[in-house]
Amino acid sequence: MEEKKTAHQLLADSIKFVLVGTTHPGNIGASARAIKTMGLSKLFLVNPKDFPNDVAFYRAKAAKDVLEQAEIHPDLFSATKDCELIIGTSARNRKIPWPLVSPREASQEIVQALQQGVNKVAVVFGREDRGLTNEELGMCNLHVHIPTNEEYSSLNLSQAVQILSYETRLAMLEHYDLVEKPEWDVELADNEQTERLITHLDELMQEVNFYDTQNPRKLLTRVRRFFKRARIDKMEANIFRGLFSAVQKNLRK
Amino acid sequence: MEEKKTAHQLLADSIKFVLVGTTHPGNIGASARAIKTMGLSKLFLVNPKDFPNDVAFYRAKAAKDVLEQAEIHPDLFSATKDCELIIGTSARNRKIPWPLVSPREASQEIVQALQQGVNKVAVVFGREDRGLTNEELGMCNLHVHIPTNEEYSSLNLSQAVQILSYETRLAMLEHYDLVEKPEWDVELADNEQTERLITHLDELMQEVNFYDTQNPRKLLTRVRRFFKRARIDKMEANIFRGLFSAVQKNLRK
């Protein structure tokens, strides 16, 4: 429980998403919603063209609190002064290559940094049309590139925010072993039960002369493979057994 | 090259994203753009409330071709008749649990199925407000749940589409070993070069009496650790060596 609290607090408190020079307020609102669905809360806006704006609040839906608390800064340096790890989104093709990672690697870098005592991390997103300037990219420790379609790489800003916040949440949940495993409501049938089910079905098939008992092999193997592969659970097996019995009772009348 | 073509063709041809009962045409357009950035092309619309609509085409940006080719169907069965694997997005909490996977597991299931000869896969997204009905979810082989913030799980439809298409692209690129590794433009310095750099810096530090030569240990270790950790490249090492020499020349004047 303590660990869980820590993971969720790190997501909410230690990681800021910084949008630089955003033109469309709708993208700011959609980004606020995107990060909140992933448990993040800190949105920083560097020199937004049109904010505050009703469109941003409309698109944020129930993430209006993220927008209300968003810090507005005149430049990237001012927005990231307290950050010890800065990751900038990049479309690549820079003259001098910078350390470049995938979104998944970036999120692992973030988790690792926070484990090693880093207090503040920034993930930085550029303008809709031109991304980050070379000067802004030069302020980053790492660049992250989303592996888009080479023929159409124009990802919407809030979609890029969604992918990076999703990967960050996932890496954090994985690190704290908080990934929920789906539960099945019924135990799987054990081998004895499964074998009895198959035998019962075989009995029924013979009762209706469904196959040539002189040459049954392939059919029975396929039936067997189906139930084994499907990993039938105890209740499903009981349903089939009950059905077979009811059918047999009616046949024998 | 042949392998590459296959991976990209599978993404474009074998996987359809199906939006059921979408209310807002903007979400349809944003979804078209989302899947195209990830190399997918097949969008199916089941009973959309308001389509075709200019808003959808506006939000699709350069993915208008995806919208123009979108198939419209009256119900989910009609849209998925030819599919051998159907994955439905779900908010969980169903009375009878269905096989439930994460987006990452879902994408691996898709790749595996295509490798095993499956021709058509559908990933199905429900209505903005109510998701998929129990009947629609019952038509799926697997359910996928995006691990959202428990306190605010309301992911926008096109954002869910972006995450699933991103994971699908990634799984496909990984399977075909097409994940691009970033290239560095210069070779890393070898051990001899790095050691000479450290020695040179030490020489310079002594020349300006920067430390007590009787007790230098910690300082030198920290300098050494920095250059080793940074994994300096050949050109960077040359720049520092050149600078140290220039400084020494000036000092000795």
**ipTM score of complex:** 0.91
A 10 A CB-CB count for A146 gives 23
Residue A24 DSSP code: -
Residues from chain B contacting residue A39 (CB–CB below 8 Å):
149, 151
B163: closest CA among B22, B40, B74?
B40
Estimate the crossing angle of helix A191-207 against helix A234-252, to 10 degrees.
20
CA A69 vs CA A35, A56, A115, A126, B27: distances in Å: 13, 13, 26, 20, 27
Return the residue matching tokens 């001899």: B192
The amino acid present at A38, given as its one-letter code, is M
**Contact between A186 and A235 (Cβ < 8 Å):** yes
A 10 A CB-CB count for A121 gives 25
HEC string for B98-166? CCEECHHHHHHHHHHHHHCCCCCEEEEECECCCECCHHHHCCCCEEECCCCECCECCCCHHHHHHHHHH
HEC string for B55-109? HHHHHHHHHHHHHHCCEEECCHHHHHCCCCEEEEECCCCCCCCCCEECHHHHHHH
**Contact between A19 and A125 (Cβ < 8 Å):** yes
A 10 A CB-CB count for A6 gives 13
A37 to B173: CB separation less than 8 angstroms, yes or no: no
State residue B124 phi and psi, 5-degree precision. -115, 130
Q: How far apart are CA B176 and CA B171, in angstroms?
A: 9
Cβ neighbours for B241, distance < 8 A, ≥ 6 positions apart: B196, B197, B200
| Range(s) within chain B of domains with CATH label 3.40.1280.10 | 2-175
| Range(s) within chain B of domains with CATH label 1.10.8.590 | 191-252
**Contact between B99 and B135 (Cβ < 8 Å):** no
pLDDT at A1: 47
Q: How far apart are CA A31 and CA B105, in angstroms?
A: 26
Handedness of CA A111, A112, A115, A121 (dihedral sign): negative
A179 to B147: CB separation less than 8 angstroms, yes or no: yes
For residue B250, give how far its alpha carbon lies from the nearest alpha carbon of chain A (Å): 30
pLDDT at B4: 59
pLDDT at B88: 97
pLDDT at A80: 97
B166 to A163: CB separation less than 8 angstroms, yes or no: yes
Provide the phi-psi class of A202: left if phi over 0, else alpha when psi is between -120 and 50, else beta.
alpha
SS3 assignment, position A193: helix
- Name the B residues in 92-131 with CB < 8 Å from any A CB: 96-97, 99-102, 104
Bridge-partner residues for B121, per DSSP? B15, B85
- Positions of chain B with pLDDT under 70: 1-5, 93-94
SS3 assignment, position B228: helix
B174: closest CA among A121, A58, A102, A200?
A102
A62 to B185: CB separation less than 8 angstroms, yes or no: no
Q: How far apart are CA B116 and CA A109, in angstroms?
A: 35
Cβ neighbours for B20, distance < 8 A, ≥ 6 positions apart: B46, B47, B76, B124, B125, B126, B127, B132, B136
A 10 A CB-CB count for A191 gives 8
For residue A150, give how far its alpha carbon lies from the nearest alpha carbon of chain B (Å): 8
- Positions of chain A with pLDDT under 70: 1-5, 93-94
Instruction: Tell me if chain B has a CB within 8 Å of the CB of A212.
Output: no
Long-range contacts of B146-151 (CB under 8 A, 24+ apart): B146/A166, B146/B89, B146/B102, B146/B103, B147/A169, B147/A170, B147/A173, B147/A179, B147/A180, B147/B102, B148/A37, B148/A38, B149/A36, B149/A37, B149/A38, B149/A39, B149/A169, B151/A39
Q: Which residues of A126-141 are buried (b: 16+ CB within 10 A; e: fewer)?
A: bbbeebbeeebbebbb
Which listed CATH number (2.40.50.180, 3.30.360.10, 2.40.30.160, 3.40.1280.10) goes with B2-175?
Answer: 3.40.1280.10
Q: How far apart are CA B27 and CA B161, in angstroms?
A: 10
pLDDT at A5: 62
**Contact between B171 and B110 (Cβ < 8 Å):** yes
B148 to A37: CB separation less than 8 angstroms, yes or no: yes
B233: closest CA among A109, A97, A84?
A97
| Structure tokens belonging to residue A180 | 């929920």
Least CB–CB distance from A147: residue in B34, B145, B170: B170
CA B216 vs CA A116, A135, B163, B223, B224: distances in Å: 27, 37, 53, 11, 12
Instruction: Tell me if chain A has a CB within 8 Å of the CB of B36.
Output: yes
The amino acid present at A232, given as its one-letter code, is I
Bridge-partner residues for A16, per DSSP? A42, A122
Task: Determine whether domain B191-252 maps to CATH 2.70.98.10.
Answer: no
Instruction: Tell me if chain B has a CB within 8 Å of the CB of A219.
Output: no
